[in-house]
Chain A
């Protein structure tokens, strides 16, 4: 059976880029938490997760991705069950319920829910590939996705709702959604977002949202010029960190913003700022390049995939990595409101890293089974 696994099509470029990004991320986390005894164990924890993740890539790659499509119903039910329980029993951190404590591990089902959503949607698009691209076809995809989206919205976790929506949109796009439907939903979304922003700026509470989420949007749109230590403090410190890095950076372990802890949550949300400070423009471009490389390998796999499911999985994972990465960097550069999305493969976070590794494993699985015309 093992001999049947087509390892020769395993994408080592993709694996290499992922290993590079993870190794670089771990190194940067070490610099970011230096001097903070409470955060020191995070380095080793991230290393364990990284190695476990690499093993996971090979395990998932070895399994034909169609196996997951076959068991999509129990998988979907399990993740829904987790998300439902989470709203009741999860640990509350920073106002939103996102974690399950299992022993020493804090599990974030939301991270895994993204992968499950990609799989479930891939199964749907595969099954419905010959149907006309009418509203019913669109509605089917939305129906599957919205179960998970609504549960995450109830946590409430606005950023991941947006991530899932973007993944859904991207998969709809690649599967041939009609332009007129795109326009229709685009206008609907615009109205929704506009009213959301208007209400937030006006200071009216919106159900299912935390006050801080609305505040963040207001702060982004209308920054208070006097609020040095207020809500804009973190972003301001991030800009100082990035800007002071210059072309080549202060050097590993020598960034004053990072080492003297002026930069907050520097091992997760603002790790890109820490990198930019210590490695400068060169380091920042390197990180972007590695992420682009990963995305490019995923897109390439999508184009080579032998079926619609494989293609959809690869496009979904590529969208996930691209969107999270760019939003995170955008937050660091103050061109996107503060969201709390991690930088893929680089930010600290076990669940996030593991779920991304799962996604890469799935893409590898697709890549290995594309069956080129090799005679």
Chain B
């Protein structure tokens, strides 16, 4: 032992020193790294840790509902039931999991699935949620690998009964739950689809805009058409926000910040009366059915429009278009084949033809010519115009063109040839009232284009355009519906730019009777009638009656038709702590103004807005013509009240003149009403792609659109209706019965409402 102590091997001290040196070098490295991580860059790591556990959840806001003027629901949110499995909540035991799958498979019909393999998972990856295909086992396995606490949709939109059965069984089926998803429901469906519209996913192009407003792509939906689109800004409400702490598996532990609750969307009350809407639809469909299936035996009338409005307030009471679409089919998602079918249909069912179709207005445009001719003194009361069945006029492209056989062509009246019988005499001779009442083309050719010494100077295309615009043609009405067209009030300049030809005298004749280049939307035709009916006042057509919050309080709201923006009238506190009224864009609160923006009008609470009064507002520019070249003089004028009164009388006589008044038969024989009605028919020759294909674009063979416009009671009109039937034929026989039935329904409904103590 002792020998070992003295004789043993000893470690050289330097070797120990080296080891200590290495040790401290390593420890020094570690400590410096620790200090660098924890002290110097600590904050960035802390942020990353916060990032790890912070989860922002958007709470969807319930979308506002849409009602008609009587409180009948047109769009609402209903519960749709989805069967879901939360992978993390499934039982631990594999046999139990299999039992859950099998029971669920028996109930829902979704296959339980066998063993999960790479192959089956890859197959399941091809499907979006809710699309049938993958098995329960595969869907759950996929979900579990991504986020075990996120419910996996096994079966979507199951019926309520099955949802309740599964709901009661969830005690025995751990992990299974019923998820309630709000889905838009339209109780009136296709009846109001053109006005109410439908929803769709947030479009990719606008994703950033919507996400900045708190929307969640692929979950939240936005309006694609109708009021759903135009009032989307207030219907959507504001999504709530919760900032929560989550663990690595995705389980939510607690709120990190006080949650911001969602603000429900505002409810919109429309001016529509769904009863009248239904009556109008029935009238239109019956009439189309009668002509197509019983009279002609082939599909002749392919589409149609009916609009009813209160001319004193501008409230649209009914707006029916045919064909239309079923918006309930787009409620969950937009089916590709259905959308394809709708968008390929040449009749354009997805488009609201009441405001988007640009059509030749035909003889209803004579209201314009009549107003202009009377106001400009082209014709006076009591003056008789000779109205033979046919006029032969020269087609002059410049004032100096000679009038020869070659450029003369016949301009016929509508009674010239009826059922093969030629009527050379025509109406013979008519005064101003009867020109309107009988809708004599020859009379209006003369008023519009002049005729020899009888009407030495007609109204002319320039002045005709002035009056057309004063009656509402040539510009969008500014109604709260997307996709409105502005029609066309043609001018020589327009023709030269668009066709490369000079304006001809014939063009003026044709335009005077609402054909040729003149185009108007059914709503514009209605507006022109409303100006006459309402003695010169054009009320802003409106589809929205009021906007309410979720407690029924009416919200003051303005609408800017130029940008489709909404402005809410609010009391806003300024920098000095004083409250002042401001108009605030609900989408962009920084867009706040001290007055409503130029061109906007109040839509809620309902206040009739007058666009203009032609008897007070100087809307008519004066023109002076010299040798065929015309220029504005810079002078403006109004339309004399007597002019409007004279035209009104003409429209009344269309109903009262027995037998030649164009509306005499329909309102006195077929649909007699104990109320004074006035109106104007229209039979517009047209030539479009469809007609060209049918080889109908030839003189004398042109197809015609049927129009009728009527208002009542004559003394104090409270309703004006326009009906349009594409390729319908004569206005008085095809469109007028539709208008008559709508007027009938309106007054019946009114008496019912009065009897019940209400008031329309």
Contact = CB atoms under 8 A, between A and B. Distances in A.
B257 to A, nearest CB: 16
A176 B49 contact: no
Interface stretch (A10-18, A325-333, A344-352, A358-366): A325-333
A130 B5 contact: no
A292 B9 contact: no
Contacts of A129: 8-9
B39 to A, nearest CB: 6
Contacts of A333: 30, 33-34, 37
Interface in A289-323: 292, 295, 299, 303, 306-308, 311, 322
A321 to B, nearest CB: 11
B53 A256 contact: yes
Interface in B650-700: none
The 4 closest A-B pairs by CB, nearest first: A243-B45, A244-B49, A260-B247, A129-B9
A295 B35 CA distance: 23
Interface string A231-256: 00000010111111111000000001
A335 B52 contact: no
A322 B23 contact: yes
A246 B46 contact: yes
Interface in A257-304: 257, 260-262, 276, 280-281, 284-285, 288, 292, 295, 299, 303
Contacts of A165: none
Contacts, number: 116
B16 A326 contact: no
Contacts of B26: 326
Looking at A256, A306, A311, the one whose CB has the most chain B CB atoms below 10 A away is A256
A150 B27 CA distance: 30
A174 interface: yes
A116 B35 CA distance: 38
A175 interface: yes
Given A262-B53, A308-B9, A242 B29 contact: no
Main secondary structure of the interface of B (DSSP, over half): helix
B11 to A, nearest CB: 5
B34 A242 contact: yes
A205 interface: no
Given A174-B16, A176-B11, A256-B53, 13 more contacts: A173-B15, A176-B9, A239-B45, A241-B49, A242-B45, A243-B44, A256-B245, A257-B49, A262-B53, A276-B34, A281-B38, A303-B11, A306-B8
Interface string B26-64: 110111011101110110111011101100000000000
A295 B24 CA distance: 12
Given A262-B248, A306-B5, A308-B8, A281 B46 contact: no
A326 B38 contact: no
A260 B50 CA distance: 11
Interface residues of A, number: 43
A255 B44 CA distance: 16
Contact of A240 (B16, B52, B253): B52
A45 interface: no
B396 interface: no
A246 B42 contact: yes
- Would you call the interface of chain A mostly helix, strand, loop, or mixed? helix
A307 B8 contact: yes
A181 interface: no
27 contacts: A130-B9, A173-B19, A176-B12, A239-B37, A242-B37, A243-B46, A244-B45, A246-B38, A260-B246, A260-B247, A260-B248, A260-B253, A261-B247, A261-B248, A262-B49, A262-B248, A281-B39, A284-B34, A284-B38, A285-B31, A288-B30, A292-B27, A299-B16, A307-B8, A311-B11, A330-B30, A335-B29
B34 A285 contact: yes
Given A175-B9, A260-B247, A242 B38 contact: yes
B4 interface: yes
A260 to B, nearest CB: 4
B249 interface: yes
A311 B19 CA distance: 15
B39 A247 contact: yes
Contacts of B39: 246-247, 281
Contacts of B12: 176
Nearest to B54: A256
Contacts of B9: 129-130, 175-176, 308
Nearest to A256: B53
Nearest to A35: B247
A244 B53 contact: no
